[in-house]
Amino acid sequence: MRKVLTAALVAAGVGMGFAAHAAEPLKIGMMLTLSGPPAVLGKHIRDGFQLFVDQQGGKLGGRDVEIIIADDELKPDVALTKVKGLLERDKVDFVAGVVFSNILQAVYRPVTESGTFLIGANAGTSTFAGKGCSPYFFSTSWQNDQIHAVMGKYAQDKGFKSAFLLTPNYQAGKDSVAGFKSQFKGKVVDEVYTKLGNLDFSAELAKIAAAKPDALFTFMPGGMGINLVKQFRQAGLDKSVTFLSAFTVDGTTLPATKDDAVGLYSASQWTPDLDNAANKAFVAAFEAKYGYVPSLYASQGFDAAQLIDSGVKAVKGDLSDKKAVQAALEKADFASVRGAFKFNTNHFPIQDFYLVKAVKRADGKYATSMVEKVFANYGDTYASQCKMK
């Protein structure tokens, strides 16, 4: 009888433990860029994430959710201070978001070394895909090189002989060039790195005109991309140079570039017209709630929330066993809006990538649209260097 009573008490204790966890709100710190021209990127991620939480009645994995927003202001020192506040003062269960690679580099170690799970919804530096990988980091986007490799392969397959490369001077810009070059075997006539946040491209456009390349490959997110597209058209370079990009012609820039961007190519793992049930439901719900067309950033934010939901649900709300949480997240047991999705050994997705172009929809809104699949089940090249501990 003593053994039966002891077992009953243990069972009751376990039950009370689950109940206690369920009663406490799940705290999620959202680290996003919400200041200046790039703020629209953070807004899309935040809105996509919030949409899924709202659809679950304000819960993830059965637990009420408290979301604490931190604006990194695109300043690594600010991001470091604020992430420490999320960890030490707010004691968040997850940190999610992170738009830019220099911000990821600032917050990555403080978060992962604290034993807190970091769910990246955009930045995917090579630094943390290989030797610097961590069991506490998961990405719902891509590794930087991958998406730029799409443009390199397209340029190579189209027989372009020369290309001019133009990116911001930080880690993601360097990764973008590496990704493009991994597939393009033609001549790189010039490789120009601008200041992050640059909005005047007159000097760079003059160099492009003088070099006369077959194609311009560029990575210019947010306000940088808006200005580059407009200035590219104004300079008349669209008549002689094919514009190839990533994160330059997308759902965050199209409301500003409008017709100037129509017909220009980009690369993505997702588009609003991707044909699967989960995506159709997401796009309809997003436009109904927010009144604008979601971008790939919004889709990544939505999937980040789905990933957390799946992991918390699998461990019945109890996050005390970190290995169990890690195993649950690794299963990626949710219906991604991009369709096929699974994690590589370095916790970056293995997924399809597409050539897309900017279009004007029948309702007058602008969006990216599928042109063709370039890579299927594509994993990044750094995974073999990752020795997950």
pLDDT digits (tens, 9 = 90+) for 29-71: 999 999 998 999 999 999 999 999 999 999 999 999 999 999 9
- Based on the number of CB atoms within 10 Å of its own CB, is 28 exposed (0-12), middle (13-18) or buried (19 or more)? buried
Q: Determine the CATH number of domain 2-142+275-343.
A: 3.40.50.2300
**Residue 15 pLDDT more than 70?**
no
Q: For residue 4, what pLDDT is reported? A: 46
Give alpha helix (H) positions in 212-345.
Answer: 223-234, 254-257, 277-290, 296-314, 322-330
Average pLDDT for 208-212: 97
pLDDT, mean over the chain: 94
Predicted TM-score of the model (pTM): 0.91
Average pLDDT for 324-348: 97
Domain coordinates of the chain in residue numbers? 2-142+275-343, 146-268+354-378
- Integer Cα distance of 109 and 107 in angstroms: 6
- Integer Cα distance of 22 and 25 in angstroms: 7
Collapsed DSSP state (helix, strand, coil) of residue 368: strand
Confidence tier at 1 by pLDDT (50, 70, 90): very low
DSSP 90-155: S--SEEEE--SHHHHHHHHHHHHHTT-EEEESS---GGGTTTT--TTEEESS--HHHHHHHHHHHH
pLDDT digits (tens, 9 = 90+) for 363-378: 999 999 999 999 999 9
**Is there a common fold for 2-142+275-343 and 146-268+354-378?**
yes
- Integer Cα distance of 356 and 26 in angstroms: 37
What is the topology classification, in CATH, of domain 146-268+354-378? Answer: Rossmann fold (3.40.50)
